[in-house]
A and B are shown apart, each in its own frame.
Chain A
């Protein structure tokens, strides 16, 4: 069965600093990978997705992620964060052909001035 591990439950950073949120997955078949963001008291919003092709994926709000098949990772990065990036970020995996998403436990990103 597929699973997702987000290695950090909380990540505090200062404004304009770079950030990396880590995600590892396990699956015996090929997968699709996703990052969602949840702002306080809101639903989840899709940030970016990897389905196939280039392993470097660009999303909204300046975020990007890189799929590394050998390390089964899909880390999320942003070179310079803003206060408004404070939110919880969820990594998710779907086995190719499956309609179900399995989510990680989430990483709370706090951007401090």
Chain B
């Protein structure tokens, strides 16, 4: 199994630009999670899906952030417009029926200048 795949691995963009992060979960997994990791705040859950349906988006910082899961094998996290404080590593994770055994992707390091 290829594991969770994220793209791009690195993204550098200017403030105000739209950023789209992509994730392909492990085949057969029912849950998909988006996390953000920063030095100051650690690892924060942004949103998670079950069977492609958003279940809890209470961690999404503001309306500039949106996430979609159009099918079982693909999800996106979009930031529009981006700001320097969005700079972080964004992880996608997936899990099967036992949601807490999560498998993480390698992350996308986002830098907003």
Contact = CB atoms under 8 A, between A and B. Distances in A.
Q: Contact size class for A?
A: 20 to 34
Contacts, number: 45
Contacts of B55: 99
B31 A105 contact: no
Contact of A100 (B42, B45, B104, B106): B45
B106 A42 contact: yes
Interface of A: 32, 34, 36, 41-46, 49, 90, 94, 99-106
Given A34-B100, A43-B4, A101-B100, 11 more contacts: A32-B100, A43-B91, A43-B104, A43-B105, A43-B107, A44-B43, A46-B103, A100-B45, A100-B48, A101-B45, A103-B42
B66 interface: no
